[in-house]
Amino acid sequence: MRLYEFEGKQLFEKFKIPVGERHLAKSPDEVYRIVSGLRYPVVIKSQVLTGGRGKAGGIKTAEGANEARTNAEICFGLTIKGFPVESVLLEPRLDIKKEYYIGVTLDRANYKIVVIASGEGGVDIEETAADNPEKIVRKSLSIEEELFSFDALTIAKKTGIPSPLLKEGAAIIVNLYNLFRKYDAKLVEINPLVLTADDRLIAADARVSLDDDAVFRHPDLADMGIEKRHEEGEMTPREQQAAEWGIPYLDLDGDIGMFPGGAGFGIMGNDFIHYYGGKPANFMDSGGGPSPERIAKMLVLLDENPNVKAIFGARFGGISRCDDFARGVIMFLKDHGLSKSMVMRMTGNMWQEGVRIFEEAKQKDPELFKNIEAHGIETPIEEISKRAVELAKQEGGN
Amino acid sequence: MAILVDKNSKVMVQGITGGAGKFHTERMLAYGTNIVGGSTPGKGGQEVHGKPVFDTVAECVENTGADVSVIFLPARFVKEAAIEAVRAGIRFLVVVPEHIPIHDMLHVRREAVAHGATIIGGNTAGIISPGQANLGIMPDIAFKPGRVGTVSRSGSITYYVADTLTQSGYGETTCVGLGGDPVLGSTFDEILLKFEEDDATKAVVMCGEIGGVYEERATDAIRQMKTPVLAMIGGVYAPPGKRMGHAGAIVEGKMGTAQDKLDALAEAGAHPCKTFSDIPKTLAKLGV
């Protein structure tokens, strides 16, 4: 779960990382009122859960209250990478002498926490890392390890923080590391850490991403006004609907509705469709052991999607049972009806029973099943993928 | 032969008195898995499907000789349960629950390494050595004893691959689910090297997917191995993943696309497969 800059700075403040004066505003009028009491020039920073806001025009300065309101109006009108700007942070502009980079993140392959620092802070830090790796300082620690001041001081020194400020710099690094551990973070980043003209170190930005699966341990976040939220960008209406139903779902730009089992085959099934010349309209994961109700909802998402020309269904019953799967499909057919063509396959746990339930329902009401081709273990999944591509083409897809 | 579990493994279940624990204990027993008991704090002295329940893992180990454990507990209890297990002498641990806090897994991994234990999961469907032992939540329908090992991040892919091997007559020695959580107890390279030591395993199919760095890390192991490795990677056509800020990019380098991963594995000597039907074709070509 990613935090807004202003929330990240709340956490920074809690850990005694200097963040400087700042005010949150939710409308141009509020901006006007607040800046009237501030020192100019003032910086107006759009608050969005994505990077690249500077390049998107989301950061502006103003020399007076009227200019601040005008510029804030521009910011509030922006949508940056799908995120509409709903608030801005107002800060007296820092007089910058130098910019550093400090980050703490996970090194999953080596099961370590890594502290990263550089004397070349700013937006192009990744290029620095790629082109001049020697300008990046790193230290790996085990999860249970304390980061000591003397180690942090060494890191600070290597980044070129001037001697009189080394102790402050080291404290910022230690505190950032402690914040990372205390709040189950995946990433905390100060970019840039600014050395001001009057020789102070200030965290000019704050990037914090926490582990969604550990938020339950931090009820104080809610007390600070930091609510649990969706990690990624803005969702399409269908993605939102799926999220409300608890179904992992992503819209893609093709025309074959993907109705698979687990996440693993959800990903690989999309490749299969491509191999046979089709394009999936979505990614979806049923989750383990879906109920018939959930299966029916998955189909509703696909059938109501106007981009979908044909549906590809694949169920390998593991923990989930093919008879439940068949019941879910039949529930959907009865309650909703299928307007698209669908080819599907059931195998694994209880597949014969699934096929039997299907055949029985079909005999009773063949009309309901007219758009469905159902297969069992005898047809390889590759054939089902090919057939889905054919069906989509017949329906005028690409 | 097999890796990590076989018919002689003495298996216990942590959380054996819970709904999922009970249900899957019955299934695992029905498969013939040698389940010797389980643990649930405060429920010592009870029985589940005729197997004794202990308050602690240590008591279960002492009384039954358990050396393998399967965890069926809510994610937030996994850290303590896993550390309890490896400290009590469990040498192989299967963590079925998903959404385990990442920092918890870092603690668990460290303890496992310190005690010489192997962990798979979280969010694994489990492990099966066909005809010998089935730990976790995998259906037995896809599996038959044979000569090819599999290791995959995903349960559904494990079923498809095993089904392919079973249908084409190769069968499996052991099928390992690494798990789908962001930080896993074991990596591809560690499991591949265990297959290399198993005489019965004549080839290994590894199935990875887009994201993370675990697949790329397998290249050194593949270079060392005499046993041929077949590689499938899901997500060749997946939309580009979300990135973990600058620090993530600096630490993990360029986020491996599926094609990058396949290329890296092929370069190390693995045999890439696009679809499941490529697997028996490739095995035949290799003379397995």
| pLDDT of res. B89 | 97
Q: What percent of chain B has pLDDT over 90?
A: 80
Q: B244 and A209: CB-CB below 8 Å?
A: yes
Token pair in block for residue B272: 């890439």
**Residue B166 distance to chain A (closest CA, Å):** 12
Cβ atoms B142, A381 nearer than 8 A: no
CB burial string B158-188: b at 16+ within 10 A, e below: bbbbbbbbbebebbbbbbbbbbbbbbbbbbb
Q: Three-class SS of residue A169? A: helix
Residue A50 confidence (pLDDT) above 60:
yes
List, as ranges, residues 97-116 from A with C-beta within 8 Å of B. Answer: 101, 103-109, 111-114, 116
Homologous superfamily, domain A96-203+206-223: ATP-grasp fold, B domain (3.30.470.20)
Helix (H) or strand (E) holding A91: strand A88-92
Is residue B241 scored above 70 in pLDDT?
no
**Local structure of A166: helix, strand or coil:** helix
* A126 vs B76, B99, B246: nearest CB: B246
CATH number of the B11-121 domain: 3.40.50.720
Which fold does the domain A21-92 belong to in CATH? Dna Ligase; domain 1 (3.30.1490)
**Does A268 contact chain B (CB < 8 Å)?**
yes
Q: Which amino acid is at B204?
A: V
Dihedral sign computed on CA atoms, order A75, A80, A85, A91 = negative
Write the secondary structure of B21-84 as one string of H (helix), E (strand) and C (coil).
HHHHHHHHHHHCCCEEEEECCCCCCCEECCEEEECCHHHHHHHHCCCEEEECCCHHHHHHHHHH
Q: Which of A356-365, B58-67, B80-89 has the lowest mean pLDDT?
A: A356-365
pTM: 0.90
**Homologous superfamily of A237-394 in CATH?**
Succinyl-CoA synthetase domains (3.40.50.261)
In the residue annotation, B246 being an active-site residue is answered as yes
Domains B11-121 and B126-286 are alike in CATH topology: yes
Q: Domain boundaries in chain A?
A: 21-92, 96-203+206-223, 237-394
Phi-psi sector, B211: left (phi>0), alpha (psi -120 to 50), beta: left
* pLDDT-wise least confident of B19-28, B52-61, B192-201: B19-28
Q: Which of A101, A177, A183, A249 is catalytic?
A: A101
Share of chain A above pLDDT 70, in %: 97
* Burial grade of A187 (CB within 10 A; 0-12, 13-18, 19 or more): buried
What is residue A270's predicted lDDT score, i.e. its pLDDT? 92
Please write the tens of the pLDDT for every residue from A276-335. 999 999 999 887 778 889 999 999 999 999 999 999 999 888 777 888 889 999 999 999
Poorest-confidence range of A47-56, A158-167, B21-30, B235-244? B235-244
Contact A59, A46 (CB under 8 A): yes
Q: Look up the ipTM and state it.
A: 0.89
Alpha helix (H) residue ranges in A276-350 = 292-303, 322-335
For A114-123, A181-190, B90-99, B207-216, which range has the lowest pLDDT when averaged over its residues?
B207-216
CA–CA gap between residue B35 and residue B120 (Å, rounded): 18
Q: Which of A117, A282, A262 is nearest to B207 (CA)?
A: A262
- The residues spanned by each domain of chain B are 11-121, 126-286
| Mean per-residue pLDDT of chain A | 91
Q: Are B39 and B54 within 8 A, CB to CB?
A: yes
The reported pLDDT for the residue numbered B253 is 63
pLDDT attached to residue A381: 93
Contact between B30 and B140 (Cβ < 8 Å): no
pLDDT digits (tens, 9 = 90+) for B173-190: 999 999 988 899 999 999
Structure confidence at residue A134 (pLDDT): 87
Residues in chain B: 288
CATH of B126-286, one of 3.40.50.720, 3.40.50.261, 3.30.429.10, 1.10.10.10: 3.40.50.261
